[in-house]
Amino acid sequence: MKSWNEECAVVGVYNVDKASVLSYYSLFAMQHRGQEASGISASNGTKITTIKSTGLVTKIFTQKRLDKLTGRSSIGHNRYSTAGEDSINDAQPIFARYDLGEMAIAHNGNLTNAKEVREMLIKEGAIFQSHLDTENLIHLIARSKKQSLTDRIIDALQHVDGAYCFIFLSRTKMFAIRDRYGLRPLSLGKIYNDDGSIGYVVASESCAFDLVGAEFVREIKAGEMLIFDGAYAMQDSQPKSIQVFEPNPHPCVFEHVYFARPDSNVFGYNVYKARKQMGIELAKEHKIKADMVIPVPDSGVAAAIGYSKQSGIDFELGLIRNHYVGRTFIEPTQQERELKVRLKLNPIRELIADREIIVIDDSVVRGTTSKQIIKILRQAGAKKIHLLISSPPTISPCFYGVDTPHKEQLICANKTIEEVRKYIGADSLGFLSIKGLVKSIGSEGKTLCKACFDECYVDDYTNNLGG
């Protein structure tokens, strides 16, 4: 329901029979992180095969296609277009042949200096096949003078800035890397094969491990690269680790606010637990008398439960979401924007009519969706509507892999809270404080990236480490 667009999802599977099948199920578990395109690259030890297309995972990967993705290692990607354009050329993984053999790359995040690096490479004769910032890495690796792929990857990473989780697949190895800030989540899991050997799964969210039966091992550290190579003797049942960059962790706070699945553990903390606590903190900060608390489904459910628990006001499902509505591509006139909201949400009139209600949502971006929700509830007969948001006002765009509007399109960056309230038509409007948000995630004393709320981007945090 938001103008926030989901981040991408990445997965890597190593030393597992039919690795592509595990990648498929992992991508299915993380479909919420991107619905524009999906792809899987698989290696059988001598050749990498890649299949990718626009659309959902279940539509792209038929049994016939999965049968073509043979081998014991694979990587996969769900895409939302944080960079590039909506085309099959910009789907991932990206595959290339170069002097050391074959390689595929999957990327979650955004390279903030991608334009400069791309222009430099083009001037030196590089030819690009996509609009993706990820493709920069292919050229940087191919042009590196280092002898091994490991050293070439490390060399290439010295030239890029921003947020990234990269998974590289060669014919015999797999590499997983997080940027020095650890902005995007990436975790390691292991799975026991029938012959007693250990396989590995790397994924953006731990919900992928749950589906494929993998055991969570740990988060990959900020600035760390894991090397999966059959030639290495795996120490302590884990792949080889290289700390490529000095870690300076600034995990993205919006993973817990909105992006991650509630059943995932992200940055060492359960998402559902965090969102429920946001609702509890919201109730402490905004004490309102009302007949019921209702969430905007699905993102507001956990926070609404927390608010209800803390306030003692009954929780009700006053808005029902239609989960079978796909994207609409009609022109965004005012009437059609209203229809889009109604396609997804419908109020229970008998529950809402003549009642004073507290509506819980996770964020306000442009304000247009919130305005339509308030209108729907008014038409359903609500006597009074209090809109509470389980995050602070969004005042700044993200440059690290989240497709957010420009600042002039962010309503809270351009209007006071009272002006926003009048625009959306609520009787009252309140937001969770930054302090309450940080407390909810169990991260007091830790440095989160909260740039969308405080305009302090990771490069500035050395001089602004406020919690």
143 and 291 belong to one structural domain = no
* Dist. CA 94–CA 103, nearest whole Å: 8
User: Average pLDDT of 199-209?
Assistant: 97
More confident site: 323 or 421? 421
DSSP-assigned beta bridge partners for residue 102:
97
| Position 336 pLDDT exceeds 70 | no
Are 109 and 10 within 8 A, CB to CB? no
Confidence band for 398, pLDDT divided at 50, 70 and 90: confident
DSSP-assigned beta bridge partners for residue 39:
52, 77
Mean pLDDT check: name the lowest of 82-96, 112-126, 235-249.
Answer: 82-96
The whole domain housing 319 covers 272-466
User: Average pLDDT of 31-38?
Assistant: 92
The phi and psi torsions of 7 (rounded to 5 degrees) equal -75, 170
Could you list the beta-strand ranges (E) of 193-337.
Answer: 198-203, 215-219, 224-229, 240-243, 265-266, 269-270, 292-295, 319-321
Instruction: Please enumerate in sequence order all residues whose Cβ is within 8 A of that of 324, keeping only pairs 6 or more positions apart, or say none.
Output: none
User: Average pLDDT of 102-110?
Assistant: 94
Are 430 and 421 within 8 A, CB to CB? no
Q: Is residue 1 part of a domain?
A: no
* Dist. CA 274–CA 305, nearest whole Å: 12
| Position 466 pLDDT exceeds 50 | no
444 and 295 belong to one structural domain = yes
| Position 82 pLDDT exceeds 90 | no
Confidence band for 167, pLDDT divided at 50, 70 and 90: very high
Amino acid at 30: M
Indicate the helix (H) or strand (E) that contains 187: strand 187-192
DSSP-assigned beta bridge partners for residue 107:
166
Q: Is residue 257 part of a domain?
A: no
By annotation, the residues acting in catalysis are: 8
**Residue numbers belonging to the annotated binding site for [4Fe-4S] cluster:** 252, 398, 449, 452
* CATH number of residue 403's parent domain: 3.40.50.2020
- What DSSP character marks residue 201? E
| Position 224 pLDDT exceeds 50 | yes
What is the residue-averaged pLDDT of the chain?
A: 89
Going by C-alpha positions, the residue among 229, 269, 231, 273 that lies closest to residue 252 is 269
206 and 291 belong to one structural domain = no
Confidence band for 95, pLDDT divided at 50, 70 and 90: very high
Mean pLDDT check: name the lowest of 48-57, 72-81, 292-301.
Answer: 72-81
* Dist. CA 118–CA 136, nearest whole Å: 6
Looking at residue 173, its pLDDT comes to 96
The number of angstroms, rounded, from the C-alpha of 6 to the middle of its chain's C-alpha atoms is 5
Looking at residue 457, its pLDDT comes to 86
Which of 249, 284, 306 terminates a domain? The answer is 249
pLDDT digits (tens, 9 = 90+) for 443-457: 665 788 999 999 988
The domain total for the chain is 2
pLDDT digits (tens, 9 = 90+) for 286-307: 999 999 999 999 889 999 999 9
Q: Is residue 59 part of a domain?
A: yes
114 and 60 belong to one structural domain = yes
* Dist. CA 372–CA 346, nearest whole Å: 11
User: Average pLDDT of 367-387?
Assistant: 95
Rg (CA), the chain: 23
| Position 414 pLDDT exceeds 70 | yes
Which of 199, 217, 249 terminates a domain? The answer is 249
| Position 234 pLDDT exceeds 50 | no
231 and 276 belong to one structural domain = no
Are 218 and 203 within 8 A, CB to CB? no
- What DSSP character marks residue 316? -
* Dist. CA 346–CA 407, nearest whole Å: 31
* CATH number of residue 205's parent domain: 3.60.20.10
219 and 353 belong to one structural domain = no
Q: What angle do CA 432, 435, 438 make, to 5 degrees?
A: 95
Q: Is residue 41 part of a domain?
A: yes
**Residue numbers belonging to the annotated binding site:** 252, 299, 361-362, 398, 449, 452
384 and 241 belong to one structural domain = no
| Position 236 pLDDT exceeds 80 | no
Which of the residue ranges 3-17, 82-96, 427-441 has the most confident prediction, judged by mean pLDDT? Answer: 427-441
327 and 202 belong to one structural domain = no
Are 411 and 423 within 8 A, CB to CB? yes
Are 454 and 447 within 8 A, CB to CB? no
170 and 318 belong to one structural domain = no
Confidence band for 326, pLDDT divided at 50, 70 and 90: low
Q: Is residue 115 part of a domain?
A: yes
Written as six digits, the tokens of 368 are 């247009």
Q: Is residue 259 part of a domain?
A: no
Q: Is the dihedral of CA 239, 240, 244, 250 positive or negative?
A: positive
Q: Is residue 4 part of a domain?
A: no
Cβ neighbour number for residue 336 with a 10 Å cutoff: 11
Q: Is residue 49 part of a domain?
A: yes
282 and 345 belong to one structural domain = yes
Distances (CA, A) of 311 to 296, 319, 401: 18, 20, 36
More confident site: 133 or 402? 133
339 and 372 belong to one structural domain = yes
Could you list the beta-strand ranges (E) of 214-279.
Answer: 215-219, 224-229, 240-243, 265-266, 269-270
Per cent of the chain over pLDDT 90 is 73
Looking at residue 444, its pLDDT comes to 60
User: Average pLDDT of 46-52?
Assistant: 97
Are 212 and 191 within 8 A, CB to CB? yes
Which of 216, 249, 282 terminates a domain? The answer is 249
Amino acid at 230: G
Q: What angle do CA 109, 393, 398 make, to 5 degrees?
A: 20
* Dist. CA 385–CA 430, nearest whole Å: 12
135 and 25 belong to one structural domain = yes
